[in-house]
Amino acid sequence: MEAIHRHSLRLLPLSLSLSPKHLILNPTNFSPISRPSISLKSKPFSSSSLVTKAGWLMGLGETKKKPTLPDIVKAGDPVLHEPAREIDPEEIGSDRIQKVIDDMVKVMRVAPGVGLAAPQIGIPLRIIVLEDTKEYIRYAPKDEIKAQDRRPFDLLVIVNPILRKMNNKTALFFEGCLSVDGFRAVVERSLSVEVTGLDRNGKPIKVDASGWQARILQHECDHLDGTIYVDKMVQKTFRTVENLDLPLAEGCPKLGVS
């Protein structure tokens, strides 16, 4: 689930929400690299040693490739529209599952988003991660934070989550999704939920959530059942992010607690 910001910075990843001066490279900050001279008379040399030195001078050979993160899968890929499979508790501690979790957390934070499900990086497993920080929240208008009952919470990793709605109270707010980039729509969600499952160490976990955290949990758990938010949206509210602040069409339900 995307981190939604309603003002001018809402469309930028937080890492880019800086003043232009932070994005300009100052040539005066760079000094020329002095290259050691190679004396061909000092001692015999072989063609292989010369290649090695040339490689070092050009930055080749010793450089290591940075590990690449998985891409976020976009709507239309079958993995987003089919149920994910449960994970055997004995598998959770494996290197494979731990790497999936690590990748999910990194992808979510880089995006940036407040939640991610394993199918969103192309892996049909029942894992969700979520996190909402003070940094994300401070970009949202205060009246919106209050209306959405949005509070920061630490990183949560839940394997094989089971979600239960705690009451019949619901709220309508705009949602975004990293797999449906560039669009928003109003979705009705329960105000209070309980989610049980296993943490990344395979130990039981239970989360009682309300407000915006409850919305994030429902959004991510939907992904595990092959459902994305557009399957549940109020259709006439679907819009591009550029039109997010336009008034709702006639006949659309009012935003807020219903």
Query: Tokens representing 58?
Result: 């050009």
Provide the H-helix boundaries in 134-243: 134-137, 142-148, 211-224
Catalytic residue at 220?
A: yes
Q: Which of 2, 131, 175, 220 is catalytic?
A: 220
Peptide bond into 253 cis (omega under 30): no
The tokens for 81 are 């529209």
Q: CB neighbours of 142 closer than 8 A, spacing ≥ 6?
A: none
- CA angle 72–75–78, rounded 5-degree value: 95
Residue 213 in contact with residue 171, Cβ under 8 Å? no
Tokens of 241: 């992010």
SS3 122: coil
Q: Which residues make Cβ contacts (< 8 Å) with residue 37, sequence separation at least 6?
A: none
Residue written as token pair 């939640």: 115
CA distance 187 to 232: 6
The rounded distance, in Å, linking the Cα atoms of 85 and 77 is: 17
Residue found by looking up tokens 């290197």 in the block: 95
Q: Which residue has the tokens 């501690």?
A: 93
Strand, coil or helix: 216: helix
Known catalytic residues? Answer: 220
